[in-house]
Structure 1
């Protein structure tokens, strides 16, 4: 068995367009007034054919339409992509097909079209249940629209995730507790709960550098918010299976688990990354970020990649360490040793155990709840 099979195989498709650019967002997203969706359909199908020929016979576990705002895609475009995927790879019996959506672009008819095409999971970018904070975050929807969009999604799809951002400007611990409790009352089965981070190259990043982004919480308050999040979600039956993701047992995002378990995934679309094991060699792939640049390259060269680079075994082990420890289930130390060529340092393991940062059960190495709160520091200690 090749190492990637421990994680599975998925396809990620990037739709780069949004109605507007959120000030905190550092994803590859662009505002466009006119989009030739037929032209994009041809490019996506060309890439599916190319990558399918290289991975022929693999069992496909997941498909993920990310962005950008994939809920701006015509259902006919999504249908054409999924149909080509079905004829390219044999699918697992429980194949998961996720599409990201923004509440402001949700229409019941469009959602039914996605479901008819084969989408069986929606991930919705709600981000806040407070109208003033939604405006601060540059979101185009209101809380009422978010609730209506969620109800529409739940009426069509059995599985619906939504994202919330916390540690926002002027947000108190009591504010976040009330908001999270309100969200849990909406019969959700999966949450992605992220602390607001200020990224270079974003509008928030520029504002923060100029001293204009006031009211961000101190580190201690952000840590308290994280720990309280764990308590509230666990009590509601949605424990964290990953640092920022909570779910009822069985409702975990199977696509994201492929990333965290260091499986293989084909990345299609502008700025999409991939990891593919071909002829025994694991490869990192990348694509041009420019939507027009990627589209033109596919049309002219029949290949949307800008990079295909071998990943050494030591680098694979570091990726596995960084991703695997994000999971509550942790990582397999034998698998890590097979990739790295050297086991973890026994003294480091003992020290981290003694201070309550990790726990070891047989060959499973896990970060504890306290360890996940400072995970980057734990990973630095474990690095070879």
Structure 2
């Protein structure tokens, strides 16, 4: 089980986004106030650099230590400007700096990106602005600068609270450094989350329960909890093929997943998504844009986007290699490798694939609007009868049993 990140209480506004003169100028230029986007509208900024490559990671990340931050800030702003021409006026609900390790960005780089977004789009006064960070002491010193720049939610890549396991996972920090970073972040940011990886080799339910309960004593109101998976092309994939370690079998993994839900439930964090747990109103707003099949701009190497435009809904994907992306932006104002129309049937499939991860499920009426046809009612009834789906008026959602076999449910629903 694997996906995205975290969240909590009311955020501070994006610096400059509430300026009346700026808002009036944007409205005049746009011919009126921006409308809300169904499912929300988010902006994702990908920082592709890390200090080291974790053995389980298949994200687009590269170990580079010498980066021209001003050059990269300028490139982000240029690609954002290009994307604004595609989207037209929109109301921004969320901004997410992901990676890689975005906490290696200079504060000035983050400021430049946020100021550009405020110039280019309308920004909600309570916009969620998230930044992923690693809990090393060097990066933690940047936290106050990010907060001053406008970041109001930090997502910490803790992964484990056990030093031996952190070493196995290739992390550079210790458990003590992680706890100190969590404490510092809680003092600085109104919203905080961190993620952990479980179902590790040899991990028993008792050991995971102890670690998770310890994490919950430090968490605010959101955790992302992912089962360790072997991704193609990673160092772990090569070691796993050699038999260097074993993962829990399917029954053991299911038991750990169910235990995770029970313990988080005791702490009043519900599984609002397959791998994400939050108190009410503390869900990650940016990832909800993805799961609710909203629109999102993706800038930076390897970033993806989904945008409703005059030509239809389009999928964008940027070049993965940082050097190639940077050169393309400097030559063409964007680093896009592909820009394709998403067909009506593909939109329906994508909406179901994302939406059934959420406990709120998906709207059947919206599916029909996107695809111009209804789901097969007999398949829906069959899955409801087997206890794999629940139906509440217009909406269907995967049950706890259905989440355990979600790929199978989707396969039968969309066949």
TM category (shorter chain) comes to: over 0.9
CA contact (8 A) 2:133 2:139 kept: no
State the match for 1:273 in structure 2: 304
Q: Deviations over 1:205-234 (max 9, x none)?
A: 11111222x231111000000111111111
Aligned equivalents of 2:264, 2:374: Cα separation in 1: 35
Residue from 50, 61, 67 that aligns with 1:35: 67
Shift of 1:137: 0.3
State the match for 2:199 in structure 1: 167
Aligned equivalents of 2:101, 2:289: Cα separation in 1: 22
Aligned equivalents of 1:35, 1:368: Cα separation in 2: 46
State the match for 1:299 in structure 2: 330
Q: Deviations over 1:128-149 (max 9, x none)?
A: 1111000000000000000000
Residue from 110, 119, 141 that aligns with 1:87: 119
For the structure 1 residues 79 and 200, does the alpha-carbon distance in structure 2 shift closer, same or farther, using more than 3 Å as the test? same
Unaligned runs of at least 5 residues, structure 1: none
Aligned equivalents of 1:267, 1:18: Cα separation in 2: 19
Shift of 1:44: 0.5
Residue from 138, 146, 159 that aligns with 1:127: 159
Shift of 1:108: 4.8
Unaligned runs of at least 5 residues, structure 2: 1-34
Q: Check if 1:188 corresponds to 2:230.
A: no
State the match for 2:372 in structure 1: 341
Q: Which sits farther off after the overlay, 96-105 or 314-323?
A: 96-105
Aligned equivalents of 2:119, 2:43: Cα separation in 1: 14
State the match for 1:310 in structure 2: 341
State the match for 1:145 in structure 2: 177
CA contact (8 A) 1:72 1:105 kept: no
Q: Deviations over 1:37-77 (max 9, x none)?
A: 11101100101111123323210111000000000000111
Aligned equivalents of 1:83, 1:311: Cα separation in 2: 31
CA contact (8 A) 1:102 1:125 kept: yes
For the structure 1 residues 224 and 132, does the alpha-carbon distance in structure 2 shift closer, same or farther, using more than 3 Å as the test? same
CA contact (8 A) 2:268 2:279 kept: yes
Aligned equivalents of 1:54, 1:383: Cα separation in 2: 31
State the match for 1:19 in structure 2: 51
Aligned equivalents of 1:58, 1:354: Cα separation in 2: 41
Residue from 236, 243, 246 that aligns with 2:274: 243
For the structure 1 residues 47 and 20, does the alpha-carbon distance in structure 2 shift closer, same or farther, using more than 3 Å as the test? same
State the match for 1:158 in structure 2: 190
TM-score, normalising length: structure 1: 0.97
Q: Secondary structure at the match of 1:366?
A: strand
Residue from 239, 260, 279 that aligns with 1:207: 239
CA contact (8 A) 1:71 1:99 kept: yes
The one of the two structures with greater contact order (alpha-carbon pairs below 8 A, sep at least 6) is 2
State the match for 2:136 in structure 1: 104
Aligned equivalents of 2:311, 2:84: Cα separation in 1: 17
Aligned equivalents of 1:54, 1:364: Cα separation in 2: 31
RMSD of equivalent CA atoms: 1.4
State the match for 1:369 in structure 2: 400
Q: Which sits farther off after the overlay, 87-96 or 47-56?
A: 47-56
State the match for 1:72 in structure 2: 104
- Aligned pair count reads 381
